Amino acid sequence: MKHKREKLMRIMNELVIFCENINMCDININFKLAKNHGEVTVSGYSENPPLERLKNLEYILNAPRQEELEEYYWALVGEDHGHQELEMVGILVDGGTINYVDQILTICIYRKD
């Protein structure tokens, strides 16, 4: 369980850094680690989010998970905070959603065990 928590926490950290980089304010985090899956939801106020970057992020989050590369990539998440970090997050998750309603941006990812 500790290993699962560490992976999910690194993913959460990358999402928070992404949100900070796009100037999201009043960030709220929901971290859920259940027996068979984990979820992270990050939401906050965003007056003018970069819609093209969000569209790209949603595409990355919903790319097929690559379990055979997981042990290598999860250790790298958090090392360098660039665009590549989000691509690594996409390899580590099973899916994600992005919603923008009334200037509240919500990014949710999930990961099955």
pLDDT of residue 86: 73
Q: Are 90 and 60 in contact (CB under 8 A)?
A: yes
Dump pLDDT digits (tens) for 96-105: 999 999 999 9
Listing DSSP states for 43-97 in one string gives EEE-SS--HHHHHHHHHHHTSPP-HHHHHHHHHHTTS--SHHHHHHHHHH-SEEE
Cα 32 from Cα 41, distance rounded (Å): 9
Is 2-112 assigned to CATH 1.20.1070? no
pLDDT of residue 82: 54
CA distances in angstroms from 37 to 5, 57, 64, 93, listed in the order given: 10, 21, 16, 10
Q: Are 64 and 80 in contact (CB under 8 A)?
A: no
Coil/strand/helix, residue 113: coil
Q: Are 55 and 82 in contact (CB under 8 A)?
A: no
- Which sequence spans correspond to the domains of the chain? 2-112
Q: Where does the pLDDT of residue 28 fall: very low under 50, low under 70, confident under 90, or very high at 90 and above? A: very high
